[in-house]
Structure 1
Amino acid sequence: MESSPYFQLTCSNDAYRVVPPGASALVRIRFTPNKNKDYSHELVCVTERERIVVPIRAIGARAILDFPDQLDFSKCPVKCSTQKTLLVRNVGNQAARYRLSTQSPFSVMPAIGILDAGDTMQVTVGFHPLTTGDHCGSLAVCCSTGEENIHTKLRGEAVDVNAGLSTNSMEFEKTFITMSSHKTMLIENRSNITAHFQWKAFPTEKGEIEEKRRLV
């Protein structure tokens, strides 16, 4: 083993040993760290036929953020924002420099920051679906110390709100030329959220896009 101030063999580095077939030999390595950080080294064993390299790793302090494995938004109104707040704690023994990321229709705030060991913070995850149906995604948590990313599964179901017109059809009576007649219908919102509406020729954005392409 090469000389290192942190790893030393308890026997001589150039020691020669004969190990009979089926037997084993005990190798003792002394580790003497001087800081709370990662250490790495190599133990090399050379035989008549091969050279074996054994990696030596010592892992220092780490930040550990206790995100849940899954976050379920259940049923949410389509084209409306729904938010859930997570209380996240750093249960590790080092400050966490983190970066959070996800994909539409999900969002997360704050996206980057620092959380000291033992401290807690609030993370807000948003769900803003533009189409009805089930939506799945993941929330990735990356720390600067290089651990494998944490992934929280995200799921939500977007449904139409209970809102609509008071009638599905309107019939106008006979109207003289150059004259006009009027009928009244109601837009009824039977949900507990504010519904923003706009009159359009097509029920979906996809239909509008296809019509614009056809005209072009």
Structure 2
Amino acid sequence: MDSSPYFKLVGPNGVCHQVPSGSFCTINILFIPEGSKSLFLKDHVHELVCSCEGEKFTVPIRAIGARPVLDFPAQLDFSSCPVNHSTQKTLLVRNTGNLEACYSLSTESPFTVSPATGTLDIGETMQVTVEYHPRKSGHHSASLAVHFDIVDEDTHTRLLGKAKDFNVGMDPHSLELDKTYLSLSSHRTMLIHNRSNITARFQWKAFSTEEEEHHQRIRLV
């Protein structure tokens, strides 16, 4: 084995052995992660080369540094959710690694996550809330990134959601007001019906979507 400050070959009779047919010998490799804390967090790679008559093979040696591991699922699916309505899912996350997790969480609209930052000790659990608030119908996907400060590594959870319109309508769909004289008024009555299983909160606007309203604001500015 090549010289290394972290690995040492400690077998019987040094490094040369004679093994009778059908027998075996034990080779001990000592790992010495001495030095600063950064070396303790670093992965170390080495190799042991075994040579005999007419053959030579290599045994890889790997020492994985300490890591925080938060057991987020690989994917979180919100399925079908109403447009302009907040749907939340709460995850119970545990630090299954061998190092304290100083983490930060981030994602993209229409998803949000809370808490955004924190610290979780080895073996401890916490609740993480992911919110899906779509502004328009259709399929949405984003990545929930978990960043660990001390090891400068990221893991990702895929977020999926499908937004659909409320079963809410107006009757009639258009109104024609009766003629009236100046300074007098004319009025008609219409109905808003909610046939969904959630409360519909509404307001009257001049534009059908927030995007159209945003473009109009920019134009006026």
Q: Give me the TM-score of the superposition, normalised by structure 2.
A: 0.71
Which residue of 2 is the match for residue 175 of structure 1? 180
Identical pairs, percent: 56
Over 3 Å counting, the alpha-carbon distance change for 1:41 and 1:2 in structure 2 is farther
Q: Which has the higher mean CA deviation after the structures are superposed, 112-121 or 128-137? A: 112-121
Q: 2:74 aligns with which of 66, 69, 94?
A: 69
Contact 1:78 1:161 in 2 (8 A): yes
Give, in whole Å, the separation in 2 of the partners of 1:10 and 1:213. Answer: 73
Give, in whole Å, the separation in 1 of the partners of 2:211 and 2:127. Answer: 37
Give, in whole Å, the separation in 2 of the partners of 1:73 and 1:129. Answer: 11
Where in structure 2 are the equivalents of 1:39-118 lying within 5 Å?
A: 40=44, 58-118=63-123
Over 3 Å counting, the alpha-carbon distance change for 1:64 and 1:181 in structure 2 is same
Q: Which has the higher mean CA deviation after the structures are superposed, 165-174 or 126-135? A: 165-174
Contact 1:135 1:156 in 2 (8 A): yes
Which residue of 1 is the match for residue 200 of structure 2? 195
Asked if residue 159 in structure 1 is aligned to residue 160 in structure 2, the reply is: no
Which residue of 1 is the match for residue 127 of structure 2? 122
Give, in whole Å, the separation in 2 of the partners of 1:41 and 1:132. Answer: 50
Give, in whole Å, the separation in 2 of the partners of 1:187 and 1:41. Answer: 68
Residues 26-48 of structure 1 show CA distances to partners (whole Å, capped at 9, x for unaligned) of: x97532446993464878x9xxx
Give, in whole Å, the separation in 1 of the partners of 2:217 and 2:7. Answer: 71
Contact 1:62 1:145 in 2 (8 A): no
Give, in whole Å, the separation in 2 of the partners of 1:157 and 1:41. Answer: 45
Over 3 Å counting, the alpha-carbon distance change for 1:56 and 1:126 in structure 2 is same
Give, in whole Å, the separation in 1 of the partners of 2:65 and 2:211. Answer: 53
Give, in whole Å, the separation in 1 of the partners of 2:62 and 2:198. Answer: 56
SS in structure 2 of the partner of residue 149 of structure 1: strand
Which residue of 1 is the match for residue 141 of structure 2? 136
Runs of 5+ unmatched residues, structure 2? 16-26, 50-59
Contact 2:112 2:130 in 1 (8 A): yes
After TM superposition, give the deviation of residue 150 of structure 1 in Å. 1.6
After TM superposition, give the deviation of residue 66 of structure 1 in Å. 1.1
Q: Give me the TM-score of the superposition, normalised by structure 1.
A: 0.72
Runs of 5+ unmatched residues, structure 1? 16-26, 46-54
Question: How many residues get paired?
Answer: 193
What is the one-letter code of the residue matched to 1:116?
Answer: D
After TM superposition, give the deviation of residue 132 of structure 1 in Å. 1.3
Which residue of 2 is the match for residue 30 of structure 1? 30
SS in structure 2 of the partner of residue 137 of structure 1: strand
